[in-house]
Amino acid sequence: MEGQSGTAVSDFVERFAAELTVAGMARMPSRIFACLITDDSGVLTSAELSERLRISPAAVSGAMRYLIQVGLVAKEREPGSRRDRYRVVNDVWFESLARRDEIMLRWVRVLRDGEATLGAGTVAGERLAESAEFFEFMAEELNGMLGRWREHRAAQAR
């Protein structure tokens, strides 16, 4: 990132990271994700991220644990080396939302168990039932949206 374009890219990374932070992602994972997604290769080592963002390797490590856990970034070995590198997941937004679908369905199961435990006729049991119904609805809608996105992408590729 040299010269004016490097400054413009750095500014964009920080602006996008700020938006991710406002949406609820912690600041350091936001900055690292924004840096990765704006790199042409989408792949950077810890050292490269540290240098570009002027942060410590420990900060990269902690943020990467989160980004890997939520499925936005994958960790891989650099060929012929013991160094790790980090890659933005292919179709990152699609994959992120697909994982949310799985999470919502797990929540539905737990909420239904809670409803049974508390009793369907109790105020708390009804609250859990409504929550489960909401997440069932959202998961179904999300699944339909993801299917329509696949169709849209396939039509674009033709």
Block means of pLDDT (10 residues each) for the chain, 158 residues, are 70 97 96 96 94 94 94 89 89 90 94 95 96 96 94 92
Q: Report which residue type is found at 84.
A: D
* Tokens representing residue 47 in the block: 């050292």
- State the angle between helix axes of 57-69 and 27-38 in degrees (0 to 180), rounded to the nearest 10: 80
Does the predicted TM-score (pTM) go above 0.95? no
Q: Which residues of 90-105 are buried (b: 16+ CB within 10 A; e: fewer)?
A: eebeeeeeeebbeebe
Q: Which pLDDT score is estimated for 2? A: 45
Q: Which pLDDT score is estimated for 20? A: 97
Q: Quote the CA–CA distance of 132 and 124 in Å, as a whole number.
A: 12
Q: Which pLDDT score is estimated for 79? A: 80
- Which among 91, 86, 92 has a CA at the least distance from the CA of 72? 92
Q: Quote the CA–CA distance of 34 and 6 in Å, as a whole number.
A: 14
Q: Which pLDDT score is estimated for 49? A: 96
What's the longest Cα–Cα distance across the chain? Answer: 66
